[in-house]
Every structure is written in structure tokens, then in C-alpha cells.
């Protein structure tokens, strides 16, 4: 059987504080994926100095040329990705600006409304899985009562998966995450992360086996 490329996970982290719960989530996910024999890389946007501000000449359809160095680095990291994992806190009902900037500048680089309307597959993301781990200081009932939960699922998760032709979207949310969490609570939540990673790795292993048997049924860029 022809050797197949390693299954790659790219974890995009959007939290400014080193050692935060979100950092632990990203590290736990990557360690688990690697233990399953797959590749995992954390893209810590704050630590990498990623600029979330979309420039005028970066707008899709406006003659964007060579990507800026920070965008080029993120695009290179997405080559061959099978699972795109977003990790971030919910602030005022939405993802941090740096996560939205990642969508605007990286995921949308050279891929805008014209490509979406034409039904084109994203050259890097088509067929990949989208997984999100989010956290909030508020509780799930509070988020749900104000419509923030369904808004995130519909206007962010499902929308991104749809326009970029990703195969599936899933979100695991951890509520009531505040400073001074008890270690038992943290360990329990990180075990949830580990189980999600194990499940997704198993799914991707199955997909690879199916693709080996029926290659014509899969997009060529996946």
C-alpha cells in the first residue's frame, strides 16, 4: 500500500495569557493527537504576534498579491490539514478579535465572495474537520437565554464550515471558567478535551482508510 501523508491537526489558539485554561486545552489536544500517532501543531496567535487587522489590499477580489509574512506563515501551516481546531474564550458574546482577524486574513486569503458564490472548494480547508473549544466566565444557561450560543453555532461555526467546504463542525464549550478554578475542575475538563481528540483522531483514521479504498470519492486537495 502506498504510504499516505500524516494526518495533520492545526490548533489555532486565541488567548493572550500564557498558562491560561485555553492554553492548557490546546496543549492537551495536541498531546493527545500525537499520542494517537497523528501530527498536531499549535498556532498561538498572540505569542506569534499575528496582526488581526485586514489591510485594504488583502481584501479578496481586490488584487491582493503576495501575502504578508504573518499570513504566509499561517497559510503554510494549513497545508495538508485534516482538522482545524479553534481554541478561544468568548468575550462579550463573540470570539476575540484576533480569531476573527485570522478568519479575515488567513482563511479568506484569495478566497472571497466570488469563490463562495461559484461553489468552489477552499484550496486548503475543503474536506477538513472544524473543531472548536471555547470557554466563558458566564454559564451556558446565561449564554443560551441571550441567544449567544445559537448565534455562535449558526453565524460562526456552521457558516465557516459551509463556505470553506469543511466536512463537519463541532464545538465543546466550558462555562464558568474563572481565575482560581479548582484543580479537580480543570483536570475534568481537560479529560473532556482528551476524549474529543481521541474521537476525532479515530474518525480521521477511518476516513484515511476509506480514501485508500475509494480515492475517487474524495476531493483531490484532501
Q: Which residue segments constitute the domains of the chain, with CATH numbers given?
A: 8-217 (3.40.50.360)
Model confidence at 14, pLDDT cuts 50, 70, 90, reads very high
Per-residue pLDDT at 216 = 66
- Give the CA distances from residue 77 to residues 3, 41, 183, in Å, rounded to whole numbers and listed in that order: 21, 8, 33
Neighbour count for residue 116 (Cβ, 10 Å): 16
**Taking 90 as the threshold, does the pLDDT of residue 88 lie above it?**
yes
Per-residue pLDDT at 1 = 43
- Give the CA distances from residue 78 to residues 71, 90, 107, 134, in Å, rounded to whole numbers and listed in that order: 11, 24, 9, 21
Per-residue pLDDT at 2 = 54
Per-residue pLDDT at 222 = 46
Q: For the whole model, what pTM was predicted?
A: 0.92
Closest CA to 109 of 77, 65, 50, 51: 65
Average pLDDT rounded to a whole number, residues 10-36: 97
Model confidence at 181, pLDDT cuts 50, 70, 90, reads confident
The average confidence (pLDDT) of the chain is 91
Q: Is residue 19 helix, strand or coil?
A: coil
Sign of the dihedral defined by the CA atoms of residues 54, 60, 62, 68, in that order = positive
Q: What is the pLDDT of residues 191-210, one digit of tens each?
A: 999 999 999 999 999 998 88
Model confidence at 63, pLDDT cuts 50, 70, 90, reads low
Q: What is the pLDDT of residues 99-140, one digit of tens each?
A: 999 999 999 998 888 888 888 889 999 999 999 999 999 988
Amino acid at each position: 500500500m502506498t504510504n499516505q501523508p500524516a494526518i495533520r491537526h492545526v490548533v489555532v489558539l486565541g488567548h493572550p495569557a500564557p498558562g491560561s485554561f485555553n492554553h492548557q486545552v490546546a496543549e492537551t489536544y495536541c498531546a493527545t493527537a500525537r499520542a494517537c500517532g497523528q501530527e498536531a501543531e499549535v498556532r498561538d496567535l498572540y505569542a506569534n504576534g499575528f496582526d488581526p487587522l485586514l489591510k485594504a489590499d488583502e481584501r479578496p477580489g481586490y488584487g491582493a498579491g503576495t501575502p504578508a509574512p504573518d499570513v504566509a506563515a499561517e497559510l503554510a501551516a494549513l497545508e495538508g490539514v485534516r482538522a482545524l481546531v479553534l481554541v478561544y474564550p468568548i468575550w462579550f458574546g463573540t470570539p476575540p478579535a484576533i480569531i476573527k482577524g485570522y478568519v479575515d486574513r488567513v482563511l479568506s486569503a484569495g478566497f472571497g465572495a466570488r469563490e463562495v458564490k461559484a461553489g468552489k472548494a477552499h484550496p486548503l480547508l475543503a474536506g477538513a474537520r472544524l473543531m472548536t473549544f471555547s470557554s466563558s466566565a458566564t454559564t451556558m444557561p446565561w449564554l443560551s437565554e441571550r441567544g449567544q450560543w445559537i448565534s455562535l453555532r449558526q453565524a460562526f461555526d456552521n457558516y465557516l464550515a459551509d463556505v470553506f467546504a469543511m466536512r463537519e463542525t463541532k464545538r465543546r464549550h466550558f462555562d464558568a471558567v474563572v481565575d482560581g478554578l479548582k484543580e479537580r475542575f480543570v483536570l475534568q475538563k481537560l479529560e473532556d478535551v482528551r476524549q474529543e481528540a481521541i474521537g476525532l483522531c479515530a474518525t480521521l483514521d477511518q476516513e484515511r482508510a476509506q480514501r485508500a479504498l475509494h480515492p475517487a470519492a474524495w476531493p483531490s486537495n484532501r
